[in-house]
Amino acid sequence: MSVALRILDDGAWLSVNDQRRVSVSELWRLNAPDFCSCELVDFIAEGFTDVSADGRDVAVTTYGECIACGESGVPGRLPVGRIRHGEYVGYDRQNMVIEPIETRLRN
């Protein structure tokens, strides 16, 4: 069973099976020490450029800004949910620390 993952509206939405599931303007807490010098990044997502599913996570390549220090850019591929039994299950993004896939792979 395949799941259709697409970025819509010039990067404003992640669509899963033609349903809009993740939008920019969410505030996320990141463990992304390469992004800025804050211990945890208070990250406001401004746009999605790509989406991937690696068997464990659905991850969006996201650009945005740390609202604490003003650093902006792309911290990496950020996991936002996963595919379970062919269904998308979104993570509780407001209440977790999101670690970019790149950072996780290095640790």
Draw the binding track, 24-53, toward Zn ion (x: CB under 5 A; -: no contact): ------------x-x---------------
For residue 64, the minimal CB distance to Zn ion (Å) is 11
If phi over 0 gives left and psi between -120 and 50 gives alpha, with beta otherwise, what is residue 14?
beta
Residues sharing a CB contact under 8 Å with residue 68, sequence separation 6 or more, in sequence order: 36, 38, 41, 42
* Biggest CA pair distance of the chain: 43
Residue for token pair 């993004």: 93
Residue for token pair 């390469």: 34
Q: Which is nearer to Zn ion, 36 or 60 (CB)?
A: 36
Q: Which is nearer to Zn ion, 4 or 69 (CB)?
A: 69
Binding range to Zn ion, per CB under 5 A, among 18-26, 58-66, 76-84, 88-96: 58-66
Among 51, 78, 85, smallest CA distance to 64 is for 78
Q: Which is nearer to Zn ion, 69 or 89 (CB)?
A: 69
Positions 68 through 107 that interact with Zn ion (CB under 5 A) = 68-69, 71
Residues in touch with Zn ion (CB under 5 A): 36, 38, 66, 68-69, 71
